Chain A
Amino acid sequence: MHPFTYSRATDPAAVPGELAEHAHTKILGGGTNLLDLMKMGVERPQRLVDVTRLPLAKIEEIPAGGVRIGALARNSDVAESPLITKNYPVLSQALLAGASPQLRNAATTAGNLLQRTRCYYFYDPAFPACNKRIPGSGCGALEGQNRIHAILGASEACIATHPSDMCVAMAALDAVVQVRGPKGERSIPFKEFHRLPGEHPEHDTTLATDELIYAVDLPDAAWAKNSYYLKVRDRASYAFALVSVAAALAVDGGKIRTARVALGGVAHKPWRSEAAEEKLVGASADEATFKAAAEAALKHAKGYKYNAFKIELAKRSIVRALTQVSGGLQAA
């Protein structure tokens, strides 16, 4: 680990200034991802600003409707909050499907949003090629061990996936990320928060280096109460998703009024599938519709040497999640 200085932030308003003033400064949340990456030599900040003492851990109702999750609310607190379990079960389930109780106790909401890919070629600097770590060095995974890699929205430059479960649920829920920079505050719709790799996989998100995340807002949405998170992984618990699905449905008289489908483990960002949603809205909530939605969602999917199975797995998982959330004929 490279030497760094450590300071503890006491005023949220002062953090963006500090970030802007000193290059190579990183915010420290729960540290469950950043510290690992520092030990591996992937991240080499010169300064760490610990924000965990800032008063940003509340989970509260927004007077105009919806719920605000403070950036420092721990994953386990969000998962257990009655405001979340009641109104946004998909988010609670996604959080509880992630990591382990110990990690969830430490991990913060903002840190989870910004956790980095688990791509082997990114995580270990012994691998010379990784455009995300060293722009221009190539992609080790493209023709390497890519069983855990992307099937949607990837580029020749990068086929890494975003590993978060929480974010898949937030993508389905139309969450909004609230940030504060040196020039003031702005709101980033979830769709625009994470990026596709394109030519610049070194950028995971559209957040500027001098911006502090202070909250994530969830909209007031009745359909969100009828939501579900399905995660398929290599062991029963404590593993990242091979494929996951966040789904929500509002069905009225047998017809789907509102639909949300987002996929995890398949792309450089939590993959909201508007193509699937289009197939669903207005159609009847049955297996044929769900299958059509699954086909639409994966229409442009591309498999690599070891991960082509994810395409079929994703389709089946979409059908399974939608079946479950529609009050399914059979328990998934």
Chain B
Amino acid sequence: MDSRNPDIIGAPLDRTDGRLKVTGGVRYASEINVPNLVYGVIVNSTISAGSVAGMDTKAAEGSPGVLVVFTPFNMPKLPKQSSMGAGATPAAKKLALLQEPDVNYFLQPIGVVVADTLERATHAASLIKVTYDEKKPLTDLVAHLHEAFSPGQIGGSDKKPADSSENAPTAALHSAPRRVEQIYQTPIENHNPLEPHATIASWDGDRLTVFDATQGIFTTRQRLAGLFGLHDENVRVICHYVGGGFGSKGPVWAHTMLAAMCAKEVKRPVKIALTRAQMFNNTGSRAHTHQSFGVGADDSGKITGIVHDVTNNTSTFDEFPEQATVATRMLYACDSIQTTQRLVRLNLGTPSYMRAPGEAPGTFALECAMDELARELKMDPVELRLKNYAETDPEKKVPFSSKGLRECYQRAAEKFGWDKYKASPDPRSIRDGKWLVGYGMATATYPTNRSQSSASACINADGTALVLAGTQDLGTGTWTVMAQVSAGTLGLPMNKVRFELGDSVLPKTPVSGGSQTAASTGSAVQAACGAVLQKLIAMAVADASSPLHNADPKDVTAANGRLSLAGDPSKGESYAAILTRAGVPRLEVKSESAPDKEEKKKFSMHAFGAQFCEVRVHEDSGEIRIARWVGAFDIGKRLNEKTANSQIKGGVVFGIGMALMEKTVADDRDARLVNPNLAEYHIPVNADVPEIDVIFVDTEDAHINPLGVKGVGEIGIVGVPAAIANAVYHATGVRVRELPLTPDKLLVGAA
């Protein structure tokens, strides 16, 4: 039986929530109307290391509208191990919940004022006088490299050893006739989603309901239940819309816990919404990476050894390795690869996952070094990559479940006109007046992740369907693609299917991170819809009054709300007719869907891509403009051509920001952040973004997951900074190995 409706799954449909969003109709977490609500405002430390000696809260407490002021000195103590909760989930962070007076980073929460309005709480918070015992903070990664230590392991749910080494790579590297050994660095960056983090928490006895801006309602539920020693069922987390997360809303952060703690004490619902500045240091950042990268090759360009040593900052109280070596371990065919990951403790907030954690900063080193090696060899950089094309995963030593990378290179190069580069590969060889023109490329890769997920599907007697899965839509199109998978699988038009998400009373799903929602929850939705349809078919063929009576279920097809015989479409009837006649108001199935462990052992599963760009660098000022972008991607099946395309475009834009301007700057004397706002922390504006041409190559992948999808949320950023840096080198002859590529770094080499 093939019930798929190919016209719906994959169709470039507009988002089902698009109209509501652009007309301001959706309600984000901080906008939910909860009766009797009061407002919590977090007080932040103004130092980076030491402890709070005292807090004079008298004026704040006496300020109009104030209900209570919490400090480390009066906040009720949490049960010891729940206060931090680290280890509870892969992404669990140790949090500052006013349990002790220690200060470990600038802007750390050291108090909460609860008042009847936001303005009154904000004002009262400004009246608190804090005294500190200050310590000298640890501020600079590079200055403390000698104190680096191993985290032992890296990775999220798929843990890997921090170090990997095979076949004496250092010796292989040093004996290679052609080699590149360089230091590359990427700075601290912040996600800066449009919607600031926010939580509304309210208690009803020992039941807690939370509206949260989160990438994982079930993670929030688990952390809150753990914090208060509640059963999961006693905590309900709701999140219908998210205004972007990019990883920053994956873990649960202090404000969510503090909102619930305050609500419990004041016995009223409490809202805490972070300001833009509070998001810096408190909701994770991409770590500063210091990457020593060496690659050696023989004269033909065959890579013989790779050594990649990465060190990143972590906080003084928690550990987060930025897994920048993961792509190096699997991207090119080489049997002598060594990678290490180290951490340095600084007085900054704990870093965290940010769009393509690992791959985004790691491929800046890897893909720039490949470009440098190609120049060393006087070889076309695309050819160098093809020369070292990995047919099997060098790390896992198993084949890829599918790999369309060769086609990505070929199609992107052709569309871009890479011949122009080949005709004039020398630096500074192409110009347009004062603008130096350069072309660059880089490879993209991102693993296909999948976790256990569940969904339920229900066909109603009126011929409509209701499909439910907890999950959350970060703004990526989850609402839409899940409805498409449902409609396509159920053989119903879109307008007969209602899909609901964003509530922890719905079937349990994993965090929307690691580009895994389509693979995990999409597969669960498909399974539930397929199963309920089978149930309906079974009913029909068993029903003596049905035209399909005694048909073989395999011969029954479903389309447009109707079952019919494959060979004879005139023989059939509508879903509504079957259920109505039987007096069954609704048929419902709940399904679990989990990754196939055997397939995972047998195959390495990855999405791939090739990024090509043209840049223009002003000879006098060093200003960089990205003139053109072409990227080709193997992301498996697309559930919606339009939203998939948008995800890639968004990823490229994110990468342009990473390449050209993003950097969170701390004062190197005291670790205070100088630019925690969108006036000084630059992200791309429209004028920085060219036309982005996205090509999808079609790969069949029978092993990866039932839907054949590889994930599209993160791969778009991977390789973008390297492609730009490589193009800038072509334009100017200046090799910048430290992001971002601001104009000052390009003044030196200009004539």
Pair from one complex: yes
**What residues of chain A have their CB less than 8 Å away from a CB belonging to chain B?**
1-3, 41, 118, 120-121, 124, 126-127, 140, 143-145, 147, 232-239, 242, 309, 312-313, 316-317, 319-320, 330-332
**A120:B122 contact, CB within 8 angstroms:** no
**A235:B684 contact, CB within 8 angstroms:** yes
Q: Which of B112-161 contact A (CB under 8 A)?
A: 119, 122-123, 126
Q: Is the interface of B mostly helix, strand, loop or mixed?
A: loop
**B747:A144 contact, CB within 8 angstroms:** no
**B621:A232 contact, CB within 8 angstroms:** yes
**B621:A316 contact, CB within 8 angstroms:** yes
Q: A144-B669, A317-B621, A320-B621 are in contact. Are A236 and B688 (CB under 8 A)?
A: yes
**B123:A2 contact, CB within 8 angstroms:** yes
Interface string of B358-399 (1 = CB under 8 A from A): 000000000000000000000000000000000000000000
Residues of A within 8 A of B46 (CB): 126
Bound Cα distance A37, B126 (Å)? 14
Residues of A within 8 A of B743 (CB): 232, 234, 242, 313
**B621:A237 contact, CB within 8 angstroms:** no
**B669:A143 contact, CB within 8 angstroms:** yes
Query: B693 → chain A, closest Cβ, in Å?
Result: 20
**B665:A236 contact, CB within 8 angstroms:** no
Residues of A within 8 A of B686 (CB): 237
Bound Cα distance A143, B667 (Å)? 9
**A120:B621 contact, CB within 8 angstroms:** no
Q: How large is the interface on B (under 10, 10 to 19, 20 to 34, 35 or more residues)?
A: 35 or more
Closest B-chain residue to A148, C-beta based?
A: B680
Is B22 in the interface zone, CB < 8 Å from A? no
**A237:B687 contact, CB within 8 angstroms:** yes
Q: Which of B274-309 contact A (CB under 8 A)?
A: none
**A236:B685 contact, CB within 8 angstroms:** yes
Bound Cα distance A2, B239 (Å)? 34
Is B679 in the interface zone, CB < 8 Å from A? yes
> Given known contacts A1-B119, A144-B668, A234-B661, what 7 new A-B pairs fall within 8 Å (CB)?
A118-B680, A124-B672, A234-B742, A235-B682, A235-B685, A236-B623, A313-B744
Cβ 8 A contact of B620, one of A41, A124, A127, A320: A320
**B744:A309 contact, CB within 8 angstroms:** yes
Q: Which of B608-649 contact A (CB under 8 A)?
A: 620-623, 625
Query: A241 → chain B, closest Cβ, in Å?
Result: 11
Residues of A within 8 A of B668 (CB): 144-145
**A126:B747 contact, CB within 8 angstroms:** no
Residues of B within 8 A of A121 (CB): 674
Residues of A within 8 A of B750 (CB): 316
Is B412 in the interface zone, CB < 8 Å from A? no
Residues of A within 8 A of B434 (CB): 320, 330-332
**A145:B674 contact, CB within 8 angstroms:** yes
Residue among A41, A234, A239 with the highest chain B CB neighbour number at 10 A: A234
**A1:B747 contact, CB within 8 angstroms:** no
Bound Cα distance A5, B55 (Å)? 29
Query: A237 → chain B, closest Cβ, in Å?
Result: 4
**B674:A1 contact, CB within 8 angstroms:** no
Q: A1-B122, A144-B667, A234-B661 are in contact. Are A120 and B682 (CB under 8 A)?
A: no
Is B164 in the interface zone, CB < 8 Å from A? no
Please, could you name 28 A-B residue pairs with CB atoms under 8 Å apart, sorted by A? Answer: A1-B119, A1-B123, A3-B123, A41-B126, A118-B680, A120-B674, A120-B675, A120-B680, A126-B46, A140-B667, A144-B669, A145-B668, A147-B744, A232-B621, A234-B682, A235-B660, A236-B625, A237-B685, A237-B687, A237-B688, A309-B744, A309-B747, A313-B743, A313-B744, A316-B620, A320-B620, A330-B433, A331-B434
Bound Cα distance A239, B743 (Å)? 13
Q: Is the interface of A mostly helix, strand, loop or mixed?
A: loop
Residues of A within 8 A of B687 (CB): 235-238
Is B211 in the interface zone, CB < 8 Å from A? no
Query: A27 → chain B, closest Cβ, in Å?
Result: 22
User: 4 closest Cβ contacts across the A-B interface?
Assistant: A236-B687, A120-B674, A309-B744, A126-B46
Residues of B within 8 A of A118 (CB): 679-680
Interface string of B669-703 (1 = CB under 8 A from A): 10010110001101011111000000000000000
**A239:B682 contact, CB within 8 angstroms:** yes
Is B106 in the interface zone, CB < 8 Å from A? yes
Bound Cα distance A229, B743 (Å)? 19
Residues of A within 8 A of B126 (CB): 1-2, 41
Q: A118-B680, A234-B661 are in contact. Are A313 and B672 (CB under 8 A)?
A: no
Residues of B within 8 A of A1 (CB): 119, 122-123, 126
Query: B667 → chain A, closest Cβ, in Å?
Result: 5
Residues of A within 8 A of B106 (CB): 126
Q: A41-B126, A118-B680, A312-B747 are in contact. Are A238 and B685 (CB under 8 A)?
A: yes
Residues of A within 8 A of B675 (CB): 120
Residues of B within 8 A of A312 (CB): 747
Closest B-chain residue to A319, C-beta based?
A: B620
Residues of A within 8 A of B680 (CB): 118, 120
Query: B676 → chain A, closest Cβ, in Å?
Result: 8
Residue among A41, A120, A317, A332 with the highest chain B CB neighbour number at 10 A: A120
**A235:B620 contact, CB within 8 angstroms:** no
Closest A-chain residue to B120, C-beta based?
A: A3
Residues of B within 8 A of A317 (CB): 620-621
Bound Cα distance A126, B675 (Å)? 12
Query: B748 → chain A, closest Cβ, in Å?
Result: 9
Residues of A within 8 A of B684 (CB): 235
Closest B-chain residue to A121, C-beta based?
A: B674
Query: B646 → chain A, closest Cβ, in Å?
Result: 22
Cβ 8 A contact of A313, one of B665, B685, B747: B747
Bound Cα distance A237, B685 (Å)? 7
Query: A4 → chain B, closest Cβ, in Å?
Result: 11
Residues of A within 8 A of B669 (CB): 143-144
Interface string of B641-663 (1 = CB under 8 A from A): 00000000000000000001100
